[in-house]
């Protein structure tokens, strides 16, 4: 096929295979991208979606061997393209947007220089016209006050603005094809919605788009055509409405079912076996109060070295009732994490206090607090960071069992039972956490938290670093444990779908304050605060998918 | 050169140094101190004295071999002093209150501004010359380096997520320090110590070259260098061999330190 026959064909890939030595990381992928079309590449980590997208801009490492029956960009065969050939294409004809905008920018350069770099590299225009092009690109991506704020450095910007700047640098030389690898994954849901809107605008201007994401819902809101990848293979591909509305493959069906926003509330999201956990029921008997954790008028400010004060939490009050799951949602920087630290007794509030089962908790000196700590346990977003890097799972669990006053000779047996109750095999006991998968690590974190037989569990974004299918298993596990042993859980998340699925009540936090709280159904059906409405409207909907939400 | 080969060479040099320091008689044929004016200043390749003799007729090879013991003592002894002192002070600064930390850290910074060798010289002028004093001076002058590293590591790990997570689990402060903070902080400090051994050997030789270390006729590489000065144009090897001994032992310590760092990482 040549340029004359189909000028709208931007990329035409047939039978693309990428291998490392004998291992085939990507196998036999075929798709085409046309002008004004968006192809969504969906898959979990390790599915080969990033490798595939990077192949389209020649960014894969040389140790990876690529082969294809057809590999055409803009009507030209690129199978034997060298680095120098790719350099001519990058920026000018193919733009590339990464997930991590902070890592993609040089911290020493301001945004203007970063965006201009593409033009400099390709010697496009002169000084004045480059400046106009940069400002034009920044305006196009909705970067506010581009003249002034583009003098800021990337780390001085919010995540959303940074992502806009990154997209601006990708489109400044007006490429025909834009590759976006998880461009919204690190962003809050309302900012994510705006970035997707921006990309959709570029698409309708005639740009071709390859949108790579693990999130089916986001992809469905922009892609015309979806390619679902699993372990390096395409399991299903076709027009978005067809694939999502009538998935043929089991894996696609599982991906759709695993999305908490779509499943009936409280239903199972995965099909993993859930073993009994009753052995780890708290043995404390106390009926004095029905409120597990009670926060009153919490306030916290941080003082910067230059003397300026920033108020991160103000007037936060809530009750976590015995045996309920209470959700706390909010964007990044809303003060959620500080509330977590205050509730865990890791940061002292400036004002107000938290009571644990009616007893003083945050006001206690640490010496008096330590003996009470087994009652309230934390599960954090990144369990890898939460474990001593030198310790095996066995030592980690032993330490927690020691805190739970389990005698030394019983610890080995109980550690195995703990692993069993979170669905892990005892062989993992002598493994280092960093040699385990994200899902396994999070299970170990849950097992460790259960070891002290807590009454309260604080979960700080426990599933946001996980793939959807693993997220589904962890959510199922958490709600199973909660029911089995009657834990009270404070569940922090930026994902409203997850919160709606799991929690009975929810609080919405913005700029350090709780702007709304109530029953989940009520808050989601009739949000009273503007911010809540904004958040809810930003949840990506599965367009074209069958609506089987209860 | 491959890393493995380099490590092998470094290890071999260290083994040789240890052997020479522990049982010098095994590889040295002559008494390193007994002078024999009749055989003074023999050239290289002399029968029985392959590396020649010095101005008092002492076998250069034997003196080199016997010089390994003071060098090793200096390297390991000074490092031990710097390590123990630095770790303790770093612990106090890193774990103590804010005021104590500010004070200690300020003191480290002031001391750190001086080159180590200058500090050692300063110490020697107070303590007086001598073998043990030189060791003490070099050890103490290394303390700020260790203390700063230790303090930094302690503070980094103290504020890390996993320490916070074990605090939240209910682990006491003491157990947290002993089980999590200290072992994780020590890794880089041990690597620094292995690097410091080579530096201490070089500094020790420098001090004795200046006449501030052990007194003659001790077989010591710095002293040998100093004695060789007079004969530099005639018999340059008298200076070259002790120079090579100092360089090799310092280089071997760097090689081992790098290998250690890789395993620590």
Q: Which residues of A touch B166 (CB under 8 A)?
A: 388, 399
Please answer yes or no on whether B184 and A389 come within 8 Å at the CB atom. yes
Q: Which residues of A touch B167 (CB under 8 A)?
A: 346, 373
CA distance B148 to chain A (A): 22
* Cβ of residue A447 closer than 8 Å to a chain B Cβ: no
Q: How many CB atoms lie within 10 A of CB A193?
A: 20
CA distance A399 to chain B (A): 8
Please answer yes or no on whether B168 and A345 come within 8 Å at the CB atom. yes
Interatomic CA distance for residues B67 and B220, integer angstroms: 4
pLDDT (tens digit per residue) in A91-140: 888 988 887 767 778 888 888 888 888 888 887 888 888 888 899 888 88
* Cβ of residue A396 closer than 8 Å to a chain B Cβ: no
Interatomic CA distance for residues B71 and B84, integer angstroms: 20
Interatomic CA distance for residues A43 and A184, integer angstroms: 15
Identify how many contiguous H helices and E strands chain A contains and give both numbers. 21, 21
Please answer yes or no on whether B170 and A346 come within 8 Å at the CB atom. no
Please answer yes or no on whether A371 and B170 come within 8 Å at the CB atom. yes
Beta bridge mates, A23: A20
Chain A: residue whose CA lies nearest to B159: A346
Contact B71, B201 (CB under 8 A): yes
CA distance B160 to chain A (A): 8
CA distance B158 to chain A (A): 12
* Cβ of residue A377 closer than 8 Å to a chain B Cβ: yes
Could you list the beta-strand ranges (E) of chain B: none
CA B46-B52-B53 angle, to 5 degrees, is 125
pLDDT at A509: 93
R_g of chain A computed on alpha carbons:
25
A380 closest CB neighbour out of B165, B167, B180: B165
Chain B: residue whose CA lies nearest to A404: B170
Beta bridge mates, A303: A309
pLDDT at A543: 54
Query: Which of B98, B102, B170, B179 is most worth mutating to test chain A (most A CB atoms within 10 A of its CB)?
Result: B170
Query: pLDDT by residue for chain B (265 residues), tens digit each?
Result: 577 888 888 889 999 999 999 999 888 888 888 888 888 888 888 888 888 888 888 999 999 999 999 999 999 999 999 999 999 999 999 998 889 999 998 998 888 888 888 888 888 988 888 889 999 999 999 999 999 999 999 999 998 889 999 999 999 999 999 999 999 999 899 989 989 999 999 999 999 999 898 888 889 999 999 999 999 998 898 999 999 999 999 999 988 888 888 876 6
pLDDT at A446: 92
The candidate with the shortest Cα–Cα distance to A438, out of A382, A480, A397, is A382
Please answer yes or no on whether B179 and A399 come within 8 Å at the CB atom. yes
A387 closest CB neighbour out of B162, B167, B170: B162
CA distance B264 to chain A (A): 10
* Cβ of residue A462 closer than 8 Å to a chain B Cβ: no
pLDDT at A3: 45
B170 closest CB neighbour out of A346, A387, A452: A452
Please answer yes or no on whether B184 and A377 come within 8 Å at the CB atom. no
Task: Give DSSP secondary structure letters for B202-230.
Answer: HHHHHHHHTT-SSPTTS--HHHHHHHHGG
pLDDT (tens digit per residue) in A172-206: 888 899 999 888 877 778 888 888 988 999 999 99
Chain B: residue whose CA lies nearest to A370: B170
Please answer yes or no on whether A399 and B164 come within 8 Å at the CB atom. no
Please answer yes or no on whether A344 and B161 come within 8 Å at the CB atom. no
Please answer yes or no on whether B184 and A370 come within 8 Å at the CB atom. no
Interatomic CA distance for residues A503 and A266, integer angstroms: 8
Chain B, residues 48-77, CB within 8 A of chain A, namely none
pLDDT at A262: 65
pLDDT at A536: 86
Contact A523, A506 (CB under 8 A): yes
CB-hemisphere CA count at 13 Å for A183?
Answer: 36
Interatomic CA distance for residues A297 and A300, integer angstroms: 10
Query: Which of B102, B161, B163, B168 is most worth mutating to test chain A (most A CB atoms within 10 A of its CB)?
Result: B168
Please answer yes or no on whether B168 and A390 come within 8 Å at the CB atom. no
* Cβ of residue A211 closer than 8 Å to a chain B Cβ: no
Please answer yes or no on whether A452 and B179 come within 8 Å at the CB atom. no
Q: Which residues of B touch A388 (CB under 8 A)?
A: 162, 166, 179-180, 184
Query: Which of B158, B169, B175, B187 is most worth mutating to test chain A (most A CB atoms within 10 A of its CB)?
Result: B169
Q: Which residues of B touch A374 (CB under 8 A)?
A: 169-170
Chain B, residues 148-187, CB within 8 A of chain A, namely 160-162, 164-173, 179-180, 183-184
Please answer yes or no on whether A399 and B169 come within 8 Å at the CB atom. yes
* Cβ of residue A305 closer than 8 Å to a chain B Cβ: no
CA B50 to chain centre: 29
Please answer yes or no on whether A388 and B184 come within 8 Å at the CB atom. yes
The candidate with the shortest Cα–Cα distance to A385, out of B184, B189, B170, is B184
* Cβ of residue B35 closer than 8 Å to a chain A Cβ: no
Residues 6+ positions from A150 with CB-CB distance below 8 Å: A110, A111, A112, A115, A134, A135, A138, A143, A165
Please answer yes or no on whether B171 and A403 come within 8 Å at the CB atom. yes
The predicted model scores a pTM of: 0.78
CA B14 to chain centre: 13
CB pairs under 8 A between A and B: 54
* Cβ of residue A35 closer than 8 Å to a chain B Cβ: no
Query: Which of B102, B159, B162 is most worth mutating to test chain A (most A CB atoms within 10 A of its CB)?
Result: B162
Q: Which residues of B touch A449 (CB under 8 A)?
A: 169
R_g of chain B computed on alpha carbons:
22
Please answer yes or no on whether B165 and A386 come within 8 Å at the CB atom. yes
- What DSSP state is assigned to residue A325? E
Interatomic CA distance for residues B68 and B91, integer angstroms: 34
Phi then psi dihedrals of residue A148, to 5 deg: -90, -50
Query: Which of A399, A444, A460 is most worth mutating to test chain B (most B CB atoms within 10 A of its CB)?
Result: A399
- What 3 state SS string does A202-239 have? HHHCCCEEEEEECCHHHHHCCCCEEEEEECCEEEEEEE
Interatomic CA distance for residues A164 and A143, integer angstroms: 7
Query: pLDDT by residue for chain A (550 residues), tens digit each?
Result: 444 457 888 999 999 999 888 888 999 999 999 999 999 999 888 788 888 998 988 888 888 888 899 998 898 888 888 888 888 888 888 988 887 767 778 888 888 888 888 888 887 888 888 888 899 888 888 888 888 888 888 777 777 788 888 888 888 888 899 999 888 877 778 888 888 988 999 999 999 999 998 888 888 889 999 999 998 899 999 999 899 888 889 998 888 888 776 667 777 787 767 777 666 777 666 556 789 999 999 999 988 777 778 889 999 999 999 989 999 998 877 889 899 999 999 999 999 999 999 899 999 999 999 999 999 999 988 788 899 999 999 999 999 999 988 999 999 999 999 998 888 889 999 999 888 888 889 999 999 999 999 999 999 988 887 888 888 888 998 888 888 888 999 999 888 888 988 999 999 999 899 999 999 989 988 999 999 988 888 877 665 444 343 3
Q: Which residues of A touch B179 (CB under 8 A)?
A: 388, 399
């Amino acid at each position: 096929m040549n340029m004359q026959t189909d000028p709208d064909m931007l990329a035409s890939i047939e039978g693309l295979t990428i291998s490392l030595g004998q291992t085939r990381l990507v196998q036999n992928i075929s798709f085409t991208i046309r002008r004004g079309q968006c192809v969504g590449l969906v898959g979990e980590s390790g599915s080969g979606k990033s490798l595939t997208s990077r192949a389209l801009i020649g960014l894969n490492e040389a140790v990876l061997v690529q082969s294809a029956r057809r590999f055409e960009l803009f009507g030209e065969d690129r199978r034997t393209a060298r680095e120098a050939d790719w350099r001519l294409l990058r920026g000018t004809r193919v733009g590339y947007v990464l997930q991590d905008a902070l890592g993609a920018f040089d911290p020493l350069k301001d945004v203007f220089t970063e965006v201009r770099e593409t033009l400099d590299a390709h010697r496009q225009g002169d000084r004045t016209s480059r400046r106009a092009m940069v400002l034009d690109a920044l305006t196009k991506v909705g970067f506010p006050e581009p003249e002034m704020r583009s003098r800021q450095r990337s780390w001085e910007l919010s995540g959303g603005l940074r992502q806009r700047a990154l997209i601006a640098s990708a489109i400044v030389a007006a490429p025909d094809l834009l590759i976006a690898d998880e461009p919204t994954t690190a962003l809050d849901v309302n900012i994510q919605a705006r970035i997707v809107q921006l990309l959709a605008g570029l698409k309708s201007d005639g740009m071709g788009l390859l949108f790579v994401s693990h999130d089916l819902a986001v992809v469905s809101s922009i892609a015309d055509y979806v390619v679902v990848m699993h372990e390096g293979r395409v399991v299903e591909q076709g027009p978005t409405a067809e694939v999502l509305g009538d998935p043929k493959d089991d894996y696609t069906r599982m991906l759709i079912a695993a999305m908490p926003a779509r499943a009936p509330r409280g239903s199972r999201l995965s099909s993993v076996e859930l073993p009994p956990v009753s052995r780890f029921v708290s043995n404390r008997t106390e009926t004095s109060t029905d409120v597990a954790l009670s926060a009153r008028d919490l306030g916290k400010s941080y003082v910067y070295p230059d003397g300026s004060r920033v108020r991160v939490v103000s007037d936060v009050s809530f009750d976590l009732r015995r045996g309920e799951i209470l959700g706390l949602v909010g964007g990044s920087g809303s003060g959620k994490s500080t509330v977590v630290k205050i509730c865990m007794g890791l940061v002292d509030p400036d004002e107000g206090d938290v009571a644990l089962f009616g007893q003083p908790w945050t006001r206690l000196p640490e010496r008096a607090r330590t003996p009470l700590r087994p009652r309230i346990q934390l599960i954090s977003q990144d369990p890898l960071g939460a474990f001593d890097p030198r310790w095996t799972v066995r030592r980690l669990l032993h330490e927690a069992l020691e805190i739970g006053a389990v005698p030394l000779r019983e610890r080995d047996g109980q550690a195995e039972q703990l692993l069993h109750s979170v669905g892990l095999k005892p062989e993992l006991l002598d493994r280092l956490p960093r040699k385990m998968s994200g899902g396994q690590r999070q299970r170990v974190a849950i097992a460790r938290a259960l070891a002290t037989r807590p009454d309260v569990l604080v979960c700080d974004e426990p599933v946001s670093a996980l793939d959807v299918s693993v997220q589904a298993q962890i959510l199922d596990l958490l709600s199973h444990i909660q029911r089995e042993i009657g834990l009270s859980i404070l569940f922090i998340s930026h994902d409203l779908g997850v919160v709606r699925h799991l929690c009975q009540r929810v609080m919405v936090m913005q700029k350090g304050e709780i702007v709304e709280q109530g029953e989940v159904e009520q808050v989601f059906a009739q949000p009273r605060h503007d911010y809540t409405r904004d958040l809810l409207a930003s949840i990506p909907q599965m367009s074209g998918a069958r609506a089987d939400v209860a | 050169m491959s890393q493995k080969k380099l490590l092998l060479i470094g290890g071999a040099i260290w083994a040789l140094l240890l052997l020479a320091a522990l049982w010098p008689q095994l590889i040295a044929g002559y008494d390193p101190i007994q002078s024999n004016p009749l055989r003074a200043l023999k050239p290289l390749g002399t029968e029985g004295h392959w590396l020649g003799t010095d101005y008092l007729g002492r076998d250069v090879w034997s003196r080199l071999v016997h010089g390994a013991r003071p060098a090793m003592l200096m390297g390991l002894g000074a490092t031990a002093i710097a390590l123990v002192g630095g770790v303790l002070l770093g612990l106090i600064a890193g774990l103590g209150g804010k005021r104590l930390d500010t004070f200690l850290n300020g003191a480290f910074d002031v001391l750190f501004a001086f080159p180590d060798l200058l500090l050692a010289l300063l110490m020697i002028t107070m303590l007086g010359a001598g073998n043990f004093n030189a060791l003490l001076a070099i050890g103490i002058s290394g303390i700020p380096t260790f203390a700063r590293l230790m303090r930094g590591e302690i503070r980094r790990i103290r504020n890390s997520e996993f320490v916070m997570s074990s605090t939240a689990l209910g682990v006491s402060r003491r157990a947290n320090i002993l089980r999590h903070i200290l072992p994780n902080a020590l890794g880089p400090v041990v690597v620094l110590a292995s690097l410091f051994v080579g530096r201490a050997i070089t500094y020790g030789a420098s001090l004795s070259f200046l006449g501030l270390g052990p007194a003659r006729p001790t077989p010591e590489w710095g002293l040998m260098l100093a004695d060789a000065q007079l004969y530099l144009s005639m018999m340059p090897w008298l200076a070259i061999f002790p120079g090579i001994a100092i360089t090799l032992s310092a280089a071997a310590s760097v090689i081992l330190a790098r290998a250690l760092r890789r395993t620590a990482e």
